[in-house]
Structure 1
Amino acid sequence: MFPIGGVPVMLAGALASGVLAGLLALALRRRLGVLGAGALAALLWSVVVIGLVTLLPAQGAPGWVSAETRLDVCSTDIGGPAPDGFWIFSGGQRLLNTVIFLPSGVLAAVVAGRRPRLLPLTVPLAWALLAGYAVAIELTQLGLARLDRACDVTDMIDNATGAALGVGVGLVLLPVLRPWRGRRPPPG
């Protein structure tokens, strides 16, 4: 049996990780500046929250999942059970899968924006890492049947799209936020 889960556990984990992220931001603020430290800590917190929401059983401890009912492969039905097929903003679960990665994408772009000359490298890398995280989550859901979650390629696509949209928003915000201002010059 997977012993924990449900919304109260997810919220408690989000709160506890938020406190830790806040402490991390405070610890890094002199080195990275307030915006840099806050963006990095918030990015890490958002990634933890995504993990909590997607990897803990939604309805609490699900108990026993038999080998016969466990899926052996990810669903490759692009669009899944949504009646309108693959449309990124069809609502419900599809929209949530897109929106949950959006803040991480924005924050990743702001963190990457601390070094403007490296943006052509760091921004695609940040998006690739977030998309890889989405794939890893789905594969974990497939491998750990006791999570009572299902692996779905559509979720991977929606998550990666949310991260891409977030990165785009973050890039638009860079000239306004100017995260490179808080950077301390290298010693010596």
Structure 2
Amino acid sequence: MDIGGTESMVAGALLSGLVLAAIAMLAQRRVGWVAAWSWCGLLWWLVVIALVTLVPLYGIDLAVPAETRSETCSLDYGGPAPEGFWILSGGQRLLNTALFVPAGALLVVAVSRWRVGWIAAPLGLIGLAAYSLMIELVQLELARIDRACDVTDLVDNVTGAVIGFGLGLVVALVLRPWKRR
């Protein structure tokens, strides 16, 4: 059975998006539309990140054993990743950074409804960094998905989350979810 490819990524994103949109519609009456949609948006984006980073780019047969497996993550800053990538020009580093921007922004908007958001937002940012680290470790362990564990990816992902965090502060000030119900 072949698994992978952009079709799998898109199908997973669409299916999870539909499920989380339904949940947001149900939750918005209880917590307000900003909180409901930002929480479900954050969860959806975390699923999208997992799909983009852990689903093989091309269909692979999981029954084939991985002959070569790296024992450690690449600590070579700049990493083994190619300069170009098939989705957008600008290199894989730009894509790794951009991938985490929405998560950082949605995190801030999601938690800003409650007073505990001042504590939850920075902790959530640490959680996004841990999520990125977990993805890199999964890539290291699962050589069959044809992905590389790389410290550069971790740095770029965290940079994107921090940029998103800053954007989320601005969006939260505009939407003011603490005033909505």
2:3 alignment partner, SS class: coil
Which amino acid in the other structure matches residue 66 of structure 2? S
- Give 1:87's aligned residue: none
Q: Partner of 2:101 in structure 1?
A: 102
Structure 2 counterpart of 1:162, from 157, 160, 163 = 160
TM-superposed CA distance for 1:177, in Å, is: 0.6
Q: Which amino acid is 1:162 matched to? A: G
2:82 and 2:9 map into 1 onto residues whose CA distance is 30
Matches within 5 A, 1:1-188: 3-61=2-60, 64-67=64-67, 69-81=68-80, 91-115=90-114, 117-183=115-181
Equivalent-residue separation in structure 1 for 2:140 and 2:82 (angstroms): 24
Contact kept, 8 Å, 1:98 with 1:160, in 2: the verdict is yes
AA partner of residue 28 (structure 1): A
Q: TM-score, normalised by structure 1?
A: 0.87
Which stretches in structure 2 are left out of the alignment for 5+ residues? 84-88
Report if aligned partners of 1:65, 1:148 keep a CA contact under 8 Å in 2. Answer: no
**Aligned CA distance change for structure 1 residues 161 and 18 (closer, same or farther; 3 Å):** same
TM-score (normalizing by structure 2): 0.90
Residues 5, 61 of structure 1: 8 Å contact kept: yes
Partners of 1:29 and 1:38 within 8 A in 2? yes
The residue type equivalent to 1:41 in the other structure is C
SS, match of residue 101 in structure 1: helix
Instruction: Give the conservation status (yes or no) of the 8 Å contact 2:104–2:125.
Output: yes
Cα 1:135–1:6 change in 2 (3 A) is same
Give the CA deviation at 1:91: 3.0
Provide the alpha-carbon RMSD of the alignment: 2.0
- Calculate percent identity across the aligned residue pairs: 52
Structure 1: give runs of 5+ residues left out of the alignment. Answer: 85-89, 184-188
| Alpha-carbon contact 1:10-1:56 (below 8 Å) kept | yes
1:62 & 1:46 partners in 2: Cα distance? 27
Contact 1:46–1:103 (8 Å) recurs in 2 = yes
How far did residue 103 of structure 1 move? 0.4
Which amino acid in 1 is paired with 2:29?
Answer: R
Q: Which moved more, 1:168-177 or 1:100-109?
A: 168-177
Verify the 8 A CA contact 2:74 2:80 in the aligned structure 1.
no
- Residue-pair matches, total: 175
